[in-house]
Amino acid sequence: MTRVLGTLIAAAIISLVIYFLPGGWRAVFSWLGDAWGFVWGIVCACAAWCWNALVSFLTYPLPLWLILSSVIVATAILSARDARRRRRAARAQQQQHAPGLPEPLTIAEDPLLPTVFHHLKWIENHGKLVPTCPTCGLEIRPRHYHGGVFPMGPTRYECERCGPIATYDKTHHELLDLLVRDLERRSRLPRAGA
């Protein structure tokens, strides 16, 4: 929405500037034509200079030792750059899959979900942890007693079907942080089937 609004404002400003410009759009397009002619002239001059350099190179050949040493130096530089790039890629891949470190689980792959934490059933919904009612499974929206920009104070969780479930002195984000730390702690514990 903001991108569309910004585009409309930019179009309005450009139209206003063009309206007050003497000659209007004709002046803008003639300026673009002049700029294109200037760029095309530079391109043609560079092409002519390159052609003359090639013809003069063929007319006055360089010594063979200079050509061979240039090719050898260029090959060495390119080989060193490629080897460095390969070493960096291998090092980055080793750091990603370092032995001894467990692969991080995404929320969707976490075998610990759904879980009951502080009388609320927590599930994964589109990559986020969401509290639900433990009896009917309806998603619960946390309500803060002291709202505003920065919610503070106790938070109450109540189901629209079953009624109030719990009230906590912590904010929803603090309770979510506690849940994430508890899930991380439980994921480090040895599993019963493993």
Give the residue extent of every domain in the chain. 107-188
Q: Is the peptide bond before 114 cis (omega within 30 degrees of 0)?
A: yes
Among candidates 112, 111, 160, which has minimal Cα distance to 133? 160
Nearest residue to 119 via CA among 158, 164, 166, 77: 166
Q: Is 192's pLDDT higher than 60?
A: no
> What is d(CA 172, CA 166) in angstroms, rounded to the nearest whole number?
12
Quick one: tokens of 126?
Answer: 């589109």
Q: How far apart are the C-alpha atoms of 82 and 77, rounded to whole Å?
A: 9
Tell me which amino acid residue 156 is. R
- The share of the chain scoring above pLDDT 70, in percent, equals 79
Residue pLDDT, tens place only, 170-191: 788 888 888 888 888 887 776 6
Q: What token pair was written down for 155?
A: 């938070």
Cβ within 8 Å of residue 24, ≥6 positions away: 18
Q: Taking the mean position of all CA atoms in its chain, how far away is CA 111?
A: 28
Q: How confident is the model at residue 74 (pLDDT cuts 50, 70, 90)?
A: very high
Token pair listed for 183: 């899930």
For 121-131, what is each residue's pLDDT tens digit?
888 887 788 88
> Which residues make Cβ contacts (< 8 Å) with residue 119, sequence separation at least 6?
134, 165, 166
Percent of the chain past pLDDT 90, that is, above it, reads 5
